[in-house]
Structure 1
Amino acid sequence: MTASTVETASKAATGPRVKPWHLRMRSSLFLAVTLLAVTAVVTSTQFDYNIFLYNTFLLTCVGALAMNLLMGTTGLVSVGSAGFLAAGAFGGVWFDRMGLPFVACVLGGGLLAAVLGLIVSLPAIRLRGLALGLGTISVHFVVIFVVDQYQQRTPGVGVIGFNLPPLFGTTVQVQHQWAWLLLGVVLLALALVSLLGAGRTGRALRLIRDQEQIASTQAIPVTGYKMMIFAITSFLFGAQGALTGFLVGQVSSEQFTLTLAMQYLAMVMVGGLDSVWGAALGAAIFTALPFAMQHLVSAVLGAQQASLNGAKYGVIAYAVLVIAFIVGAPGGLVRLVSEGARKIQARRK
């Protein structure tokens, strides 16, 4: 398989939607610089709660980048993201109880989820679209059942506590330190997703997404690429799950719901498919939305109503937002902004 063969076929299948390599890398670099600047501003404040929310966004961003690579770039729909998160989180618990260091626990949780992703990819290779999404739901139920059994057989009630992580001889326990650590993780995930989404590999993945039959005739190893993407994205979700447990200080099987899995699908749809900026914007919106809805319900209906039904109103807000973008802006927020910018430039000319 030559680069020119894949590029020619990819252009025929996807048209002008495929950005040149240098534009994709420049967009990723701009996002990295933006995140660096935002982290510097956020950590300069003294409000630990605000920094914790930002840390939650950074963690969510890892999963959003993974989902964007899986669904936006490769066209593989998965509803098993919460299961991979749970596998990574409880894998981190297991390795932590074995006395392994923080980095080994995170990598171990990611590798455990990656192995699970490879296993899932085998029967799911021949499925596409809604059938693939429905097939991955089984992963969620199997994983949640296993981790729930593990939790019930582990000393402690309701939750399993992580030890504070020693890293480079120091203990990461201040939200400011967590912000810089998680920023480093996001930048690594961003670099990996950007490299896979650019160049010959990116063209092959998009050809699989848009014209899988043509891809198979161009000597592209479709099965190998699908298995690779499942493993890599599952690893990112697993590492995110382990990091979330360390950040929060505990992990419970009840955290990993189908609603959480649907939120990651919604993130990339609202933010914009096949765009690292879309993943970041989707993560930011869906991180802030529950807290914004909580304050809105509290202001309109009272604090008691917000406490009782705030989460329900948040789910309604998710649904309304997704429907609005599917109907009004199917390309997501990134395409909406880019089209608006082009119209403004055209009017000025």
Structure 2
Amino acid sequence: MARLLDNLLLLTVGLTLRIRLLVYWSLVYGYCALCSGVALLKLGWSILLRPAATFRWTVREIPPACLNDTSLGTHCYVRIKESGLRFHYVAAGERGKPLMLFLHGFPEFWEFKSEFRVVAVDMRGYGESDLPSSTESYRLDCLVTDVKDIVEYLGYNRCFLVGHDWGGTIAWLCAIHYPEMVTKLIVLNSPHPCVFTDYALHHPSQMLKASCYFFFQLPHFPELMLSINDFKALKSLLTSRSTGITCKGRWLTSEELEAYLYALSQPGALNGALNYFRNVFSVLPLSQSEVKAPVLLLWGERDAFLEQDMAEACRLYIRNMFRLNIISGASHWLQQDQPDIVNKLIWTFIKEGEGRKSYRNL
């Protein structure tokens, strides 16, 4: 009798989980269909208003001067033997100093070159790094392995790892899968992957904020919608007061905006960038989800894409020291909104504890 009850209980739990999963994915794809419908209406409206301009876009052939500014560092390339991909990175600071690796680097951070070998890398699908066309090439395990391979190529076995947005997600996963590689972890506006998954599942408001995740699951159509009217949607994303930089005086200059458009207008570039989102629902097996390295999490108070409650929830997955700083008035792009504050908080964090010199290695 007891065994029968146990089997019945297991069957009930299993059925409940399957129903919950079915409902979840029905919501995901239903919302994706809704987003697609809205996008189609916008496309139709654009064709009615400006039929000649709707399907016009320009591939930028001459890079803006800021992309080749040697004062920011030395432009280098590395080809990883295992993946066969070539990666572009910019490096500053003396060789032999502790490595500080930025996943999608921010020019404001070059001040760290006084005490670190600072490297900002274009991840696969971005900038001057290779742009694989296959969606499968952007699986989370591939992206995490890229970081490990680059660190080893640079001659290091440990680094101070800094990531923002998608770079932050990859940084979290690197710290989980390769804990021995990460001395300290610094993440900007990107929650621990487990926090994001659980929070989005239980909070429809976050699902709405992350609506682009669902729209980007479609093949080809998102690339079209982002590029029509000469990348009007991308320009709006980067410059509008709701989704762009909020701090007056820090708004993108015309040259900086053109740098983004130059990179994303290259053949295959939008496809590579969106393939990150098309793998966001893929499962990266985690034997454990705790982060052993000390963690600094910086969060813009006015993030238009992520809810602030997720930042505090990350504490549950940190085994070591955890610092959380909510930066008042800052947007999702807080390193550009408040660079001085961000830099000061990072300096304070990396000088805490055991210090930098104990991690000096080649």
TM range (shorter): under 0.3
Q: Going by fraction, where is helix more abundant, 1 or 2?
A: 1
Q: Going by fraction, where is strand more abundant, 1 or 2?
A: 2
- Rg larger for: 2
TM-score, normalised relative to structure 2: 0.26
> Which structure has more RCO (C-alpha within 8 Å, separation ≥ 6)?
1
TM-score, normalised relative to structure 1: 0.26
